[in-house]
Amino acid sequence: MAKWSPRKTLTARSMFIVVIVVVAFLFCIGNLVRIQIVEADYYKSKAEENQLYDTEVPAKRGTIYDANGNIMAQSASVWLVFIDPHSVPNDEVRGKLCNDLSEMLDINGDSLMKKLKMDKYRYLVIKRRIEYDLKEKVSEFLETSYTYVVKDEATGEDYTRKAYVKTMVGIDPDVKRYYPNNGLASHLIGFTEGSDTGQAGVELYYDDILTGIPGRIVTAKNANSEAMPLQYETVYDAQQGTNIVLTVDENIQRYLENALEQAYIDNKCASANGIVMDVQTGAILAMATKDDYDLNSPRDVSDEDVQAEFEELQAKRAAKYEESGKTPTAEEIEQGKQEDMENAELNVFYDNIRNVTISDTYEPGSVFKTITACAALDQGVADPSTTVSCVPGGIHIANRTYHCNNHTVHGTLDMTGGLTKSCNSYFITMGQRLGVDNFFKYFEAFGFTEKTGIDLPAEAKPVAGVTYHPLSNMTIVDLASSSFGQSFQVTPIQMVTALSAIANGGKLMQPYVVAKTLDENGNVISETQPTVRRQIISAETSAAVAEMMRKVVNEGTAKNGYVIGYRVAGKTGTSQKLSKPGEHVASYGCFAPADDAKIAVIITIDEPHGGQIQGGQIAAPVAAQVVENTLKYMNVEPQYTESELKNLDTTLSNYKGKNVTETVKELKSKGFSYKVIGNGDKVVSHLPGAYQTIPQGGVVVLYTDGGPVDTKTTVPDFTNLTLTQVNQRAAASGLNVKISGNTLVNSELVSYSQSIGVGESVDYGTTVTVYFKSNTGVTDLTD
Amino acid sequence: MNKNTRTNTQSGSGLNVSSLRRQYFPFLTLRKPKDYLAKGSFDITFFLLVVALLTIGLVMMFSASYVNALYDSSASVENNPYYYIKNQLVFAVIGLVAMYVISKIRYDFYRDISFAVLLVSYVLLVLVLIFPVEIPGKEEFKRWLSLGFTTFQPSEIAKIAIIMYCAWSMERRKKAIYSDWKMMIPYMIVILSICVLVYLENHLSGTILILAIGLVMTFLGGINIKWYIPIVVVGVLGVIILVTYPEILEKYAGQRIVAWLDKDYDPQGARWQTNQSLYAIGSGGLFGLGLGNSRQKHLYMPEPQNDFVFAIVCEELGFIRVAFIILLFVLLVWRGFVIAMRAKDTFSSLLVMGIVFQVGLQTALNIAVVSDLIPNTGISLPFFSYGGTSLVILLAEMGMVLGVSRYSKIQKT
The Cα of A43 is separated from the nearest Cα of chain B by a number of Å equal to 5
Residues of chain A whose C-beta is under 8 A from some C-beta in B?
A: 4, 6-7, 9-11, 13-15, 17-18, 21-22, 24-25, 27-29, 31-33, 35-37, 39-44, 46-47, 50-51, 154, 220-224, 228, 231-232
Is there a contact between B216 and A17 if contact means CB atoms under 8 Å apart?
A: yes
A49 in a structural domain:
no
Residue A209's CATH number: 3.90.1310.10
Q: Which residues of B touch A152 (CB under 8 A)?
A: none
A592 and A470 in a single domain? The answer is yes
* A387 and A468 fall within a common domain: yes
Could A35 and B281 be called an inter-chain contact, meaning their C-beta atoms sit closer than 8 Å?
yes
Tens-place pLDDT, residues A79-137:
889 998 888 888 889 999 999 999 999 999 899 999 998 887 888 889 888 888 999 99
Q: Determine whether the interchain pair A228/B222 forms a contact, defined as Cβ–Cβ distance below 8 Å.
A: no
How far are the Cα atoms of B25, B69, B74, B111, B196 from residue B165, in angstroms, in the given order? 12, 40, 41, 8, 17
Task: Give the number of beta-carbon pairs within 8 Å between A and B.
Answer: 146
Residue-wise pLDDT for A535-567, tens only, equals 999 999 999 999 999 999 988 888 888 888 899
The domain in which residue A746 lies consists of: 646-774
- Cα of B334 to nearest chain A Cα, Å: 7
CATH number at residue A720: 3.30.10.20
Both A628 and A654 in one domain: the answer is no
For residues A104 and A81, is the Cβ–Cβ distance under 8 A? no
pLDDT of residue B9: 45
Per-residue model confidence (pLDDT) at position A496: 96
**pLDDT, tens digit, for every residue of A606-646?**
999 988 888 888 999 999 999 999 999 999 988 887 777 76
Determine the average pLDDT of the residues in A431-452: 94
Q: With CB atoms and an 8 Å threshold, state whether A21 touches B283.
A: no
Question: Which string of b and e fits B31-55 if b means at least 16 CB within 10 Å?
Answer: eeeeebebeeebbeebbebbeebbe
Q: Are residues A396 and A506 in the same domain?
A: yes
Give the chain A residue nearest B325 (alpha carbons). Answer: A29
Rounded-to-integer distance, Cα A753 and Cα A769, Å: 8
Q: Hey, are the CB atoms on B220 and A18 less than 8 Å from each other? A: no
CB contact under 8 A, A13 and B340: no
User: Which residues of chain B make contact with A33, given a CB cutoff of 8 A?
Assistant: 319
Q: Which residue of B has its CA nearest to A22?
A: B330
Most confident of A233-242, A746-755, B174-183, B314-323: B314-323
Are both A562 and A473 inside the same structural domain? yes
What is the pLDDT at residue A747?
56
pLDDT single digits (tens) A583-617: 999 999 999 899 999 999 999 999 999 888 888 88
Q: Which chain B residues contact residue A19 at CB under 8 A? A: none
Q: Judge: A17–B219 Cβ closer than 8 Å, yes or no.
A: yes
Does residue A362 have a pLDDT over 90? yes
User: Bigger pLDDT: B60 or A753?
Assistant: B60
Say whether both A709 and A652 belong to one domain.
Answer: yes
Mean pLDDT of A716-731: 82
Compute the nearest-CA separation of B372 from chain A (Å).
9
Mean pLDDT for chain B?
A: 88
From the CA of A32, how many Å to the nearest CA of chain B? 7
- Residues of A in Cβ contact (< 8 Å) with B293: 231
In a domain, A261, yes or no: no
Residue A329 is given by DSSP the state P
Residue A47 CA, chain-centre distance (Å), reads 51
Please list the alpha-helical segments (H only) found in A173-285: 186-189, 201-205, 207-211, 250-267
- CA A196 – CA A175 distance, rounded (Å): 7
* Partners of residue A770 on adjacent β-strands: A739, A754
User: Which H/E stretch holds residue B5?
Assistant: helix B3-11
Which residues of chain B neighbour A24 with C-beta distances below 8 Å? 360-361, 364, 368
pLDDT at B23: 81
Half-sphere exposure (Cβ direction) of A579: Cα atoms closer than 13 Å: 11
Q: Which of B68, B337, B409 to mutate to test the interface with A (most CBs of A within 10 A)?
A: B337
8 Å CB contact between A749 and A771: no
Would residue A395 count as lying in a domain? yes
Q: What average pLDDT does this structure show over B246-256? A: 78
CA distance B59 to chain A (A): 20
- Mean pLDDT, chain A, integer: 87
Q: How far is A113 from chain B (nearest CA, A)?
A: 25
Residue of B49, B359, B334 whose CA lies nearest to B216: B359
Residue A763 lies in a domain: yes
- CA–CA gap between residue B213 and residue B198 (Å, rounded): 14
Question: What are the angstrom distances between the C-alpha of B31 and each of A341, A655, B9, B348, B407?
Answer: 108, 143, 16, 19, 19
Residue A381 pLDDT > 70: yes
pLDDT at A230: 46
Arithmetic mean of pLDDT, A314-319 = 89
> Dihedral of CA A619/A625/A629/A632: which sign?
positive
CB A28 within 8 A of CB B367: yes
ipTM score of complex: 0.92
Going by pLDDT thresholds of 50, 70 and 90, the confidence category of residue B169 is: very high
Residue with more model confidence, A228 or A608 = A608
The beta-carbon neighbor of A224 closest among B282, B299, B323 is: B299
Query: What is the per-residue pLDDT for A743?
Result: 64
Please indicate, yes or no, if residue A189 is contained in any of the structural domains.
Answer: yes
- Residue A2 banded pLDDT, cuts 50, 70, 90: very low
Residue A571's pLDDT is 94
Asked if B365 contacts B379 with a C-beta cutoff of 8 angstroms, the reply is yes
Per DSSP, chain B holds a count of helices (H) and strands (E) of: 15, 2
Q: What pLDDT, on a 0 to 100 scale, did the predictor assign at position A232?
A: 64
Whole-angstrom distance, CA of residue A277 vs CA of residue B26: 118
Which residue among B174, B319, B373 places its CB closest to the CB of A6? B174
In a domain, A271, yes or no: no
Residues A410 and A550 in one domain: yes
Share of chain A above pLDDT 70, in %: 95
**Cβ of A39 and B282 within 8 Å?**
yes
**Mean pLDDT throughout A297-315?**
89
User: Nearest CA of chain A to the CA of B341: how many Å?
Assistant: 7
User: What is the widest separation between alpha-carbon atoms in chain A?
Assistant: 160
**Best interface-test mutation with A: which of B281, B330, B404 has the largest number of A CBs within 10 A?**
B281
Direct distance between the N- and C-terminal alpha carbons of chain B, in angstroms, rounded to an integer: 20
Shared-domain flag, residues A238 and A343: no
Point out the least confidently predicted range of A215-224, B81-90, B138-147, B149-158: A215-224
Alpha-helix residue ranges (DSSP H) falling in B131-250: 154-172, 174-179, 184-200, 204-221, 228-244
Decide if pLDDT at B62 tops 90.
yes
| Contact state of B357 with A17 under an 8 Å Cβ cutoff | yes
Q: Between chains, do A6 and B330 touch, taking CB under 8 Å as contact?
A: no
Contact A14 B281 (CB under 8 A): no
- Contact residues for B92 (Cβ-Cβ < 8 A; gap 6+): B54, B58, B391, B395
pLDDT band for A166, please (50, 70, 90 cuts). Answer: confident
Per the structure, how many domains does chain A have?
5
Least confident of A48-52, A243-247, A294-298, A522-526: A48-52
* pLDDT band, very low/low/confident/very high, at B3 (cuts 50, 70, 90): very low
- In this prediction, residue A676 carries a pLDDT of 80
A522/A592 same-domain check? yes
For strands A767-774 and A736-740, give the pairing.
Answer: parallel
- Whether B53 shows a pLDDT value over 50: the answer reads yes
Q: What DSSP character marks residue A75?
A: E
Determine whether the interchain pair A18/B334 forms a contact, defined as Cβ–Cβ distance below 8 Å: yes
pLDDT at A274 over 90: yes
What pLDDT, on the 0 to 100 scale, is given for residue A153?
Answer: 67
For helices A303-324 and A330-353, angle between their N-to-C axes, nearest 10 degrees = 130
Is the bond preceding residue A593 a cis peptide, omega within 30 degrees?
A: yes
Q: Using CB atoms, which residue from A37, A222, A232 is nearest to B299? A: A222
Contact between chains at A36 and B286 (C-beta distance less than 8 A):
yes
Task: Chain B: give the shortest CA distance to residue A69, in Å.
Answer: 51
Residue A433 contacts by C-beta under 8 Å, 6 or more apart in sequence? Answer: A376, A381, A382
User: What residues of chain B lie within 8 A of the CB of A162, using their CB?
Assistant: none
**Residue B272: other Cβ atoms inside 10 A:** 15
Indicate whether A207 and A148 sit together in one domain: yes
In angstroms, what separates the C-alpha of B33 from chain A's closest C-alpha? 30
Q: So what's the pLDDT on residue A513? A: 96
Residues A154, A17 share a domain: no
**pLDDT, tens digit, for every residue of A683-722?**
877 877 777 777 777 778 887 776 656 678 888 888 888 8
pLDDT for the residue numbered A273: 96
pLDDT > 90: what percent of chain A?
A: 47
Residue B393, pLDDT above cutoff 90: yes
Cα separations in angstroms, B202 against A154, B136, B257, B261, B378: 19, 16, 16, 22, 11
Cis peptide before A291 (omega within 30 of 0): yes
Q: In this complex, do B279 and A43 lie within 8 Å of one another by their Cβ atoms?
A: yes
pLDDT of residue A708: 58
Query: Does the structure show a pLDDT above 90 at A507?
Result: yes
Q: Indicate yes or no: CB of B323 within 8 angstroms of CB of A224.
A: no
For residues A608 and A461, membership in a common domain is answered with yes
DSSP for A536-594? -S-HHHHHHHHHHHHHHHHHSTTGGG--TTS--EEEEEEEE-SSSTT-EEEEEEEEEST
**What distance in Å separates the CA atoms of residue A367 and residue A361, rounded to the nearest whole number?**
14
Separation of alpha carbons A188 and A249, rounded Å: 12
Q: What do you get for the CA distance between the two ends of chain A, in Å?
A: 128
Is A10 within 8 Å of B349 when comparing Cβ atoms?
A: yes
The DSSP secondary-structure symbol of A117 reads T
Tell me the domain boundaries of chain B: 45-233+266-405
d(CA A276, CA A721) in angstroms, rounded, equals 30
Query: Is position A279 within any domain?
Result: no
A675 part of a folded domain: yes
Q: Which of A13, A25, A35 sits opposite B326 (nearest CB)?
A: A25
Q: Which helix (H) or strand (E) holds A379?
A: helix A369-379
